[in-house]
């Protein structure tokens, strides 16, 4: 039966997912069957006549429900990367079933009694640090999900969790549909003024894909389309149209997320109050490095002053430049990228388009592999035999160079399509850890939306896309190199404000000539990036750093406003957002635009009360890279320490402890400001 291919390990090499051996209609019955087995495993654990111990309770619980994890991992990964209409229809049903299953476990008084019995004797148990962490997280996980509540509050919590499981997928679905609904069709060739040839070729390919035989070009809201369009199009009215379409996603109309935002925020607040917290942010941050909302705000405030001063200077400089360039009207948001690119060229004689011919995607991924090989002694081999879920997806086997032992599987999915949500992310099909009677090595994937190849050119990345590739690759290394015993602690299962360290750390290498020389080569001639061009790239790296920093702070403050100082009965989402971001917004609000309704990170992802973690981790990654630069850039002792104390340890110990073990001290908060030229 096809359903068994979802529930069980496959017969393929490394038990890789056998994509294509099951059908979409198999998901729902597979989830139901897996949940039934998971419930039976929980009953067996509860009915054990032996006294509760770490082995028969905590470790046993770690291995319960593996089939549920297996089915959901495949389903939700494809829901994000290859979401058919059927999967979108199934998502609320499956979310509801699994939310109830989670509630059944979290609110089971008998099960919690066994967990508590082990936790209460923790001081007398001879446990490793990782086992202590698992015990604490298991106990805290039950408490934070309502185990200590009375029955009435437990039922209310169950209702809230079930409803959240329905509305969060709907938020994502609306964004995908709204994104796909917009297309700017250009039929007048003069309207292509300023756009690079590579963009025009790609826009023509999009038109042909839509069946437009006539002379036409398509601009859409996928990043490889709208980002360069705003940067290079000389037609101001068209820039405005595309910018407003993106900034107003789901802010009204058929795919509005306004009511969903209000409902999600309300449900999260109710949930936090039931559990004894003042707000959702307080609940979330209890298990983060930041610990408390006031610590997050203090952190953001410390960055705000230098960032805002620099951002205001950036904007004034750009306004003057735009006026000198002939802009008679006031500089507007849809003008920012256009004139910024021209200003960067004027100041540094550097056009980011100059780099693209040197950055074919195949060379770039090989560069990421090569850097990982040099730093962490692993190698990647392409596998064309294992199945994937789409022809664009590539699969690689990863091995330890020292003994040729298997490290994991790595999947890469680079190009946009109508069934894939926007953005870029890393995910797993199998986590590293001990389960099913043996140590399992991880199967990880990165999913991106890069510029597609055309008939005349390979996929040539912008430098921003290259940074995205290395960022997500950093997450994948965190998953691949994990050496934890327990899967719930392995890989990227760390505090949310620590998870971006390995990803952002990898971006630092891209300003180093020694790294670029290893892979960046012209797709036609094979020549390396000229030294002069690398120097221009390095000099321009601080360009508008204040503006970019303030933009990230803007999102972080908005997130904390929704989750950290909740106001009852928020009727006007627009007014609330405007108030929350007024101190970090350089432009006056544009009617009809809204960030919240497209803010998937916090309303459909895991970043609620956690968007600040990007800046938090920037401090860590800037400080960590300083450690490499203080020594030889590729110093093996430093790289080994980073691998052993950060990448291999996952969430087995507190991140503060792991970082100090690697660095020898606490991170310097000013490392980020130094790197960005803001000190």
Q: What is the pLDDT of residues 66-117, one digit of tens each?
A: 999 999 999 999 999 998 889 989 999 999 999 999 999 999 999 999 999 9
29 near 48, Cβ under 8 Å? no
Worst-scoring range by mean pLDDT, 86-90, 143-147, 210-214, 353-357? 210-214
Please tell me the distance from the alpha carbon of residue 207 to that of residue 523, in angstroms, as a whole number: 25
Q: What is the pLDDT of residue 454?
A: 85
Residues whose CB falls within 8 Å of the CB of residue 596, separated by 6 or more in sequence, listed in order: 257, 261, 558, 562, 573, 577, 603
Closest CA to 105 of 49, 43, 33, 168: 43
Residue 437: its pLDDT value, please? 79
**What is the average pLDDT across 208-223?**
90
Confidence of residue 571 (pLDDT cuts 50, 70, 90): confident
Give pLDDT, residue 438. Answer: 86
Site of tokens 């960590």 = 624
pLDDT given for residue 677 in this prediction = 86
Q: What is residue 444's three-state secondary structure? A: strand
The structural domains of the chain, ordered by start, are 2-106+108-148 (1.20.1050.40), 182-247 (no CATH), 357-528+614-675 (1.10.1370.40)
| pLDDT interval class at 235 (50, 70, 90) | very high
Confidence of residue 568 (pLDDT cuts 50, 70, 90): low
Q: How far apart are CA 198 and CA 228, in angstroms?
A: 10
Confidence tier at 46 by pLDDT (50, 70, 90): very high
Residues classed as catalytic: 472
- pLDDT surpasses 80 at 679: no
Region 262-287 average pLDDT? 96
What band does 352 get if pLDDT is binned at 50, 70 and 90?
confident
Q: Indicate the burial class of 442 (C-beta count within 10 angstroms; 0-12, 13-18, 19 or more).
A: buried
447 has which bridge partners?
413, 425
| pLDDT confidence of residue 413 | 98
Of the listed ranges 196-205, 362-371, 618-627, the least confidently predicted one is: 196-205
With a cut of 60, say whether residue 1 has pLDDT above it: no
Question: Where does residue 664 rank: exposed (0-12), middle (13-18), buried (19+ CB within 10 A)?
Answer: exposed
Output the pLDDT for position 510.
97
In this prediction, residues 583-594 reach a mean pLDDT of: 96
Per-chain mean pLDDT for the chain:
95
State the pLDDT confidence band at 213, using cuts at 50, 70 and 90.
Answer: confident
What are the structure tokens assigned to 576, written together?
A: 């609330």
Q: What are phi and psi of 646, to 5 degrees?
A: -110, -60
Task: Tell me the pLDDT tens digit for each residue of 651-668.
Answer: 999 999 999 999 999 999
Stretch (H or E) spanning 272 = helix 258-274
Would you say 616 and 289 are in contact if contact means Cβ atoms under 8 Å apart?
yes
Burial call 412-421: b when 16+ CB within 10 Å, e when fewer: bbbbbbebbb
Closest CA to 479 of 434, 403, 426: 426
**Do the bridges between strand 378-382 and strand 217-219 make them parallel or antiparallel, or are there none, so unpaired?**
unpaired
Distance in angstroms (rounded) separating the CA atoms of residues 102 and 258: 28
pTM of structure: 0.91
Residue 213 burial (C-beta neighbours within 10 Å; 0-12, 13-18, 19+): exposed
In this prediction, residue 678 has a pLDDT band, given cuts at 50, 70 and 90, of confident
Tell me what the mean pLDDT of segment 232-258 comes to. 97
pLDDT of residue 214: 80
**Residue found by looking up tokens 């499981």 in the block:** 165
Instruction: Find out whether 636 and 113 touch, Cβ atoms under 8 Å.
Output: no
On the question of pLDDT at 42 being above 70, the answer is yes
The Cα-based distances of 367 to 360, 362, 450, 452 in angstroms read: 11, 9, 16, 19
Beta strands in 456-550 (DSSP E): none
Q: In the structure, what pLDDT confidence band is assigned to residue 435 with cuts at 50, 70 and 90? A: confident
């Amino acid at each position: 039966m096809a359903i068994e291919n979802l529930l069980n390990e496959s017969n393929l090499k490394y038990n890789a997912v056998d994509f294509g051996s099951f059908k979409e209609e198999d998901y729902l019955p597979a989830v139901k069957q897996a949940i039934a087995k998971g419930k039976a495993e929980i009953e067996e654990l509860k009915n054990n006549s032996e006294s509760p111990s770490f082995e028969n309770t905590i470790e046993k619980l770690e291995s319960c429900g593996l089939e549920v994890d297996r089915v959901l991992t495949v389903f939700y990964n494809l829901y994000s990367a290859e979401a058919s209409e059927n999967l979108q229809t199934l998502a609320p049903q499956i979310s509801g079933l699994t939310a109830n299953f989670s509630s059944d476990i979290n609110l089971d008084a008998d099960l919690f009694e066994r967990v508590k019995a082990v936790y209460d004797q923790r001081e007398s148990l001879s446990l490793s640090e990782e086992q202590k962490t698992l015990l604490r997280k298991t106990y805290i996980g039950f408490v934070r999900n309502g185990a200590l509540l009375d029955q009435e509050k437990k039922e209310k919590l169950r209702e809230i969790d079930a409803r959240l499981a329905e509305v969060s997928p709907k938020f994502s679905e609306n964004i995908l549909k709204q994104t796909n609904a917009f297309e700017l069709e250009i039929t007048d060739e003069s309207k292509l003024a300023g756009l690079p040839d590579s963009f025009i070729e790609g826009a023509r390919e999009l038109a042909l894909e839509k069946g437009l035989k006539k002379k036409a070009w398509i601009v859409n809201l996928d990043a490889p389309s709208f980002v360069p369009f705003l940067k290079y199009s000389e037609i101001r009215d068209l820039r405005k149209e595309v910018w407003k379409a993106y900034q107003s996603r789901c802010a009204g109309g058929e795919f509005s997320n306004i009511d969903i935002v209000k409902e999600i925020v309300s449900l999260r607040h109710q949930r936090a109050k039931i559990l004894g917290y003042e707000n959702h942010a307080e609940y979330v941050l209890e298990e983060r490095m930041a610990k408390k909302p006031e610590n997050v705000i203090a952190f953001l405030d410390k960055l705000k002053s230098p960032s805002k001063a620099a951002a205001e200077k950036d904007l004034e400089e750009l306004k003057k430049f735009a006026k000198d360039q002939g802009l008679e009207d006031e500089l507007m948001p849809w003008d920012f990228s256009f004139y910024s690119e021209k200003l960067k060229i004027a100041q540094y004689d550097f056009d980011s388009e100059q780099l693209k011919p040197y950055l074919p995607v195949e060379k770039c991924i090989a560069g990421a592999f090569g850097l990982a090989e040099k730093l962490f002694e692993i190698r990647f081999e392409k596998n064309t035999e294992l199945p994937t879920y789409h022809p664009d997806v590539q699969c690689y086997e990863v091995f330890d160079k020292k003994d040729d032992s298997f490290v994991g599987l790595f999947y890469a999915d680079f190009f946009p399509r109508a069934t894939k949500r926007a953005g870029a992310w890393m995910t797993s099909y199998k986590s590293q850890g001990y389960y099913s009677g043996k140590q399992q090595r991880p199967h990880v994937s990165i999913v991106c939306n890069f510029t597609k190849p055309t008939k005349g050119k390979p996929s040539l990345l912008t430098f921003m896309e290259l940074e995205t590739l290395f960022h997500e690759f950093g997450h994948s290394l965190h998953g691949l190199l994990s050496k934890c015993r327990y899967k719930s602690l392995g890989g990227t299962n760390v505090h949310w404000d620590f998870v971006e360290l390995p990803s952002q750390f990898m971006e630092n290498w891209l300003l180093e000539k020694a790294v670029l020389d290893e892979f960046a080569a012209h797709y036609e001639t094979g020549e390396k990036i000229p030294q002069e061009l690398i120097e221009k790239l390095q000099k321009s790296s601080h360009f508008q750093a204040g503006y970019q920093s303030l933009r990230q702070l803007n999102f972080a403050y908005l997130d904390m406003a929704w989750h950290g100082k909740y106001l009852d009965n928020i009727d006007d989402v627009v007014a609330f957002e405007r108030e929350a971001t007024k101190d970090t917004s350089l432009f006056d609000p544009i009617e009809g635009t809204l960030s919240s309704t497209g803010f998937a990170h916090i309303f459909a992802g895991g970043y609620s009360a956690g968007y600040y973690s990007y800046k938090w981790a920037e401090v860590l990654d800037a400080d960590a890279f300083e450690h490499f630069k203080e020594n030889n850039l590729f110093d093996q002792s430093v790289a080994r320490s980073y691998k052993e104390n950060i990448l291999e340890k996952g969430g087995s110990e507190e991140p503060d402890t792991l970082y100090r073990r690697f660095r020898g001290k606490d991170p310097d908060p000013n490392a980020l400001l130094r790197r960005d030229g803001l000190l």
